[in-house]
């Protein structure tokens, strides 16, 4: 370590990237009508101010890669296409592959449909250098920026709502980022920890800001222009992906997961009560109706927990195995609560109300721990190997 102290003192000077140290990563999906124009715009505005190279990460089913290669001949900088046979993670997955492959000190991510002005690339990097930032976001929501190119009131409202929701869920980590939905940003390579990123769909900046947590963030205004050709690939399905992505990010820690588990559990009262009402209206006696209606709540909870909390931990058991275990735990919870309350009141002299509250909390924690351990914890390799012997 000490050997390196001396050179480290001069690091500041070394850290200013050599001119030419920006890799522009462009994710593309069927953008053959746009990429030539994009490369032309980059040629006009970037290399004279900041030498660059461009890396397309392509999942196209059209001839985008060929068009890029063809257009690259006229470019005074290196252009590469990384075509993926399997489009893992969609747009976000493509960007992460680009981040992994890039070798420059700075990486700028921008769309391939000319909605992002390449003339801003040198400014993003310069701002990052000046502010000593790890991440520089091109924002539509700071003075001088605009979202002119968001097609229609519906997209504007969705984008607004998504921004608000993300900021509300991550007030600290998104502090200083007015536009966490932006697809245009610069990152310092040392600030990216590609291995911790689990991108899901469009919102890669959100993923980066929350999981990689760059030490210092800066913003530059930009005007989100109209798409040059073709249509946005964002769909309602992307919207659901975004919600799942948010849930995944928010419940990455065990405590947050427990809170999520509790909220989902509480929401289960609704199908439970509606079911009870429907069954009794249909003439069922209230006791069997209680038991049956409880299963509606269980099914509801199971669906939400699977989709939002344990999405990436489902692979090691079949769905009916997970459902069976989950339902067993949920019903055991009911059965356990009554004797527990009796014990707290009878043995420990508690009042019925605090005893019930305490029993609720205790069985809730037990159920959460049980669900993690018995339904979603990957089985240990060792035990399987032993069984195999």
**Where on the chain is the footprint of ligand GDD (CB under 6 A)?**
27-29, 31, 57-59, 87, 90-91, 94, 111-113, 115, 150, 159, 181, 183, 202, 232-234
Q: Which residue has the tokens 């959460």?
A: 368
Q: Closer CB to ligand GDD, residue 184 or residue 300?
A: 184
Smallest gap from Cβ 311 to ligand GDD, in A, equals 19
Residue 186 touches which of Mn ion, ligand GDD, none (Cβ within 5-8 Å per kind): none
Q: Closer CB to ligand GDD, residue 29 or residue 170?
A: 29
Cα 62–chain centre separation: 27
Using only C-alpha atoms, the chain has a radius of gyration, in whole angstroms, of 26
Smallest gap from Cβ 27 to ligand GDD, in A, equals 4
Residue 45 touches which of ligand GDD, Mn ion, none (Cβ within 5-8 Å per kind): none
Residue 21 touches which of ligand GDD, Mn ion, none (Cβ within 5-8 Å per kind): none
Closest CA to 191 of 254, 137, 141, 120: 137
Q: For residue 42, give both structure tokens.
A: 């980059």
Task: Classify residue 223 by its DSSP letter.
Answer: B
Smallest gap from Cβ 150 to ligand GDD, in A, equals 6
Residue 198 touches which of Mn ion, ligand GDD, none (Cβ within 5-8 Å per kind): none
Q: Closer CB to Mn ion, residue 141 or residue 300?
A: 141
Closest chain position to ligand GDD (CB): 183
Q: Closer CB to Mn ion, residue 70 or residue 226?
A: 226
Residues in contact with Mn ion by CB under 5 A are 113, 115
Residue 268 touches which of ligand GDD, Mn ion, none (Cβ within 5-8 Å per kind): none
Angle between helices 319-346 and 286-304 (to 10 degrees): 120
Cα 365–chain centre separation: 27
Please count the other Cβ atoms lying within 10 Å of the Cβ belonging to residue 98.
23
Residue 81 touches which of ligand GDD, Mn ion, none (Cβ within 5-8 Å per kind): none
Round to whole Å and give the CA distance between 109 and 78: 16
Residue 180 · residue 163 · CB < 8 Å: yes
Smallest gap from Cβ 321 to ligand GDD, in A, equals 32
Round to whole Å and give the CA distance between 345 and 120: 69
Cα diameter, the chain: 86
Q: Closer CB to ligand GDD, residue 181 or residue 305?
A: 181
Cα distances (angstroms) measured from residue 20 to each of 23, 99, 366 = 8, 17, 57
Smallest gap from Cβ 331 to Mn ion, in A, equals 49
Round to whole Å and give the CA distance between 175 and 292: 46
Q: In what order do the strands lie in the sheet with 217-221?
A: 79-83, 52-58, 22-28, 106-109, 185-188, 135-139, 217-221
Residue 59 touches which of Mn ion, ligand GDD, none (Cβ within 5-8 Å per kind): ligand GDD
Smallest gap from Cβ 127 to ligand GDD, in A, equals 19
Q: Closer CB to Mn ion, residue 234 or residue 356?
A: 234
Q: Closer CB to ligand GDD, residue 249 or residue 298?
A: 249
Q: Helix (H, G, I), strand (E, B), or coil: what is residue 263?
A: helix
Residue 219 · residue 182 · CB < 8 Å: no
Q: Closer CB to ligand GDD, residue 140 or residue 367?
A: 140
Residue 90 touches which of Mn ion, ligand GDD, none (Cβ within 5-8 Å per kind): ligand GDD
């Amino acid at each position: 370590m000490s050997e390196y102290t001396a050179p480290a003192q001069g690091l500041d000077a070394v850290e200013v990237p050599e001119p030419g140290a920006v890799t522009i990563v462009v994710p593309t999906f069927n953008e053959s009508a746009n990429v030539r124009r994009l490369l032309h715009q980059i040629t006009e505005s970037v290399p004279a101010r900041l030498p660059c190279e461009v890396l397309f990460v392509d999942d196209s089913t059209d001839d985008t890669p060929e068009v890029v290669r063809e257009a690259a001949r006229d470019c005074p900088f290196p252009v590469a296409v990384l075509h993926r046979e399997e489009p893992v993670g969609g747009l976000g997955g493509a960007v992460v592959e680009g981040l992994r492959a890039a070798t420059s000190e700075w990486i700028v991510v921008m769309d391939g449909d000319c909605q992002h002005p390449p003339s801003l690339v040198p400014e993003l990097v310069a701002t990052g250098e000046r502010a000593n930032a790890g991440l520089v976001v091109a924002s539509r929501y700071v003075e001088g920026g605009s979202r002119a190119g968001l097609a229609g009131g519906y997209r504007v409202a969705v984008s607004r709502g998504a921004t608000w929701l993300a900021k509300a869920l991550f007030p600290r980590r998104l502090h200083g980022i007015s536009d966490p939905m932006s697809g245009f940003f610069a990152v310092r390579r040392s600030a990216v920890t590609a291995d911790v990123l689990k991108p899901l769909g469009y919102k890669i900046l959100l993923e980066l800001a929350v999981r990689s947590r760059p030490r210092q963030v800066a913003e530059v205004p930009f005007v989100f222009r109209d798409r040059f050709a073709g249509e946005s690939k964002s769909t309602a399905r992307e919207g659901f992906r975004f919600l799942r992505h948010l849930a995944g990010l928010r419940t990455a820690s065990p405590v947050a997961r427990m809170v999520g588990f509790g909220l989902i559990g509480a929401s289960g009262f609704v199908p439970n009560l509606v079911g009870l009402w429907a069954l009794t209206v249909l003439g069922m006696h209230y006791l069997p109706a209680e038991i049956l209606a409880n299963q509606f709540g269980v099914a509801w909870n199971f669906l939400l927990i699977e989709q939002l909390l344990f999405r990436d931990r489902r692979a090691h058991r079949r769905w009916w195995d997970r459902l069976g275990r989950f339902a067993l735990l949920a019903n055991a919870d009911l059965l356990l609560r009554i004797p527990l309350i009796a014990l707290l009141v009878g043995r420990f002299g508690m009042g019925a109300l605090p005893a019930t509250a305490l029993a609720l909390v205790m069985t809730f924690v037990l159920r959460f721990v049980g669900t993690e351990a018995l339904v979603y914890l990957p089985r240990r390799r060792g035990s399987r190997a032993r069984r195999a012997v």
